[in-house]
């Protein structure tokens, strides 16, 4: 049989490449520094840039380990200890969300065509043009940040619309679930898990009211400890949540709970994430009239435990 004549439909080609890369990666669990350097040389990346990338990734891993330690502290500490942990977590998220493109690690920007990466097709390395695009749809539910503030909308067509949380009061006053809306904003990459849109303008198609993005007028405030509690949730995956580059960073389960986790955790899920997966999660978060959200400190998918620790990089 001549396999070269077999035609692969274009709609499944990305999944074929992603799965093949994952299978290859499973048989090649790590690489020597020389192998990394050789792969970089083939795409004309200077050795010093490889070294710099490794250092930045290691620094990121340290930050992630600190983050996990603080999350666990929230669950095990009371009073002052939990308040300190929450403030640290809020500071981490504030800095991360305000990072400029120039502040992103080389891990997200270095080309690596000769290194297996199961998520290369799921997490594009460059962002699309930002002139703005218009989208329409019906609101399925509010999206929340870990403090329980509405910071976006999930539409029935799978679009995940993000909007500044400081404008939450205006947003919920104008838009409710089942409302038809028109969104103008910057679109992220479309993946099989969904697509994020950073809205500049949201219009209620039924009333004609429009809400335009405005910059914050005051500095962000640290989280209120009383708003947080230990939460657990179980259900089936209804919508996988993504960031602007298409990276998986959360899931909405059948009872409406939003489960959030860092993008490096989403990398583990890229090949197994599907609608209908059984999700079990524990962590801390918020429950209010707009919904429930938890930041996971323990997570399983279809009964398989998912590591929340960053991958370690060892350099000989």
Reported residue count of the chain is 316
Arithmetic mean of pLDDT, 107-127: 41
Going by pLDDT thresholds of 50, 70 and 90, the confidence category of residue 108 is very low
How far is Cα 106 from Cα 59, in angstroms, rounded to an integer?
12
Whole-number pLDDT of residue 73:
60
Arithmetic mean of pLDDT, 268-273: 88
7-64: per-residue pLDDT in tens?
A: 666 666 666 666 665 665 555 555 655 666 566 666 567 666 766 676 677 667 677 7
Going by pLDDT thresholds of 50, 70 and 90, the confidence category of residue 163 is very high
How far is Cα 316 from Cα 309, in angstroms, rounded to an integer?
22
Helix axes 47-76, 80-97, angle to 10 degrees: 150
Residues above pLDDT 90, as percent of the chain: 42
Other CB atoms within 10 A of residue 185 CB? 21
Going by pLDDT thresholds of 50, 70 and 90, the confidence category of residue 208 is very high
Whole-number pLDDT of residue 314:
54
Would you give the distance in Å from CA 35 to the centre of its chain? 30
Phi and psi, residue 230, nearest 5° = -75, 130
Going by pLDDT thresholds of 50, 70 and 90, the confidence category of residue 116 is very low
Give the CA distances from residue 8 to residues 11, 12, 219, in Å, rounded to whole numbers and listed in that order: 9, 7, 52
- SS3 of residue 8 by DSSP: coil
User: Which range in 37-41, 89-93, 224-228, 292-296 is most confidently predicted, on average pLDDT?
Assistant: 292-296
Q: What angle do CA 310, 255, 137 make, to 5 degrees?
A: 90
Q: Is the pLDDT of residue 205 over 70?
A: yes
| Contact call for residues 281 and 294 (beta carbons, < 8 A) | yes
Arithmetic mean of pLDDT, 260-284: 91
The more confident residue out of 301 and 88 is 301
Residues above pLDDT 70, as percent of the chain: 56
Q: Which of 117-131, 188-202, 230-244, 302-316 has the lowest mean pLDDT?
A: 117-131
Residue 198, H or E segment: strand 195-204
The more confident residue out of 48 and 1 is 48
How far is Cα 20 from Cα 56, in angstroms, rounded to an integer?
28
Work out the mean pLDDT of the chain and round it to a whole number.
Answer: 76
Name beta bridge partners: 285: 229, 294
Q: Which of 13-27, 71-85, 88-102, 276-290 has the lowest mean pLDDT?
A: 88-102
Residue whose C-alpha is closest to residue 293's, from 284, 305, 303: 284
* Residues in Cβ contact with 274 at an 8 Å cutoff, skipping those fewer than 6 apart: 237
Whole-number pLDDT of residue 134:
94
Tokens of 53: 């990338």
End-to-end CA distance of the chain: 45
Arithmetic mean of pLDDT, 239-253: 94
Instruction: Tell which phi-psi region holds residue 267, choosing left (phi > 0), alpha (psi between -120 and 50) or beta.
Output: alpha
Would you give the distance in Å from CA 160 to the centre of its chain? 11
| Contact call for residues 188 and 244 (beta carbons, < 8 A) | yes
Whole-number pLDDT of residue 194:
87
Going by pLDDT thresholds of 50, 70 and 90, the confidence category of residue 180 is very high
Name beta bridge partners: 133: 185
Whole-number pLDDT of residue 107:
38
Going by pLDDT thresholds of 50, 70 and 90, the confidence category of residue 123 is very low
């Amino acid at each position: 049989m001549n396999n070269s004549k077999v035609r692969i439909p274009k709609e499944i080609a990305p999944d074929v490449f992603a799965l093949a890369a994952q299978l290859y990666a499973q048989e090649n669990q790590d690489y020597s520094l020389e192998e990394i350097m050789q792969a970089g040389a083939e795409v004309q990346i200077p050795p010093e840039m490889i070294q710099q990338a490794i250092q930045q990734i290691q620094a990121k891993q340290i930050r992630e380990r600190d983050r996990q330690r603080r999350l666990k502290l929230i669950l095990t500490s009371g009073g002052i200890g939990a308040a300190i942990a929450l403030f640290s977590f809020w500071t981490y998220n504030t800095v991360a969300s305000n990072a400029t493109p120039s502040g992103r690690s080389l891990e997200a920007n270095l080309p690596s065509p000769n290194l297996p990466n199961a998520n290369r097709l799921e997490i594009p390395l460059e962002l699309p043009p930002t002139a703005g695009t218009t989208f329409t749809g019906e609101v399925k539910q509010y999206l929340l940040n870990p403090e329980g503030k509405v910071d976006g909308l999930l539409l029935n067509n799978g679009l995940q619309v993000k909007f500044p949380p400081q404008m939450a009061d205006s947003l919920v006053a104008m838009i409710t679930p089942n409302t038809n809306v028109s969104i103008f904003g910057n679109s992220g990459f479309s993946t099989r898990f969904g697509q994020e849109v950073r809205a500049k303008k949201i219009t209620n198609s039924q009333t004609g009211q429009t809400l335009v993005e405005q910059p914050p007028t005051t500095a962000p405030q640290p989280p209120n400890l009383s708003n947080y509690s230990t939460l657990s949730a179980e259900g089936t995956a209804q919508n996988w949540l993504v960031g602007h580059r298409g990276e998986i960073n959360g899931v909405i389960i059948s009872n409406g709970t939003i489960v959030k986790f860092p993008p490096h955790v989403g990398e583990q899920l890229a090949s197994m994430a599907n609608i209908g997966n059984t999700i079990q999660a524990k962590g801390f978060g918020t429950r209010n009239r707009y919904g429930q959200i938890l930041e996971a400190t323990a997570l399983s998918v279809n009964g398989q435990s998912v590591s929340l620790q960053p991958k370690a990089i060892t350099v000989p």
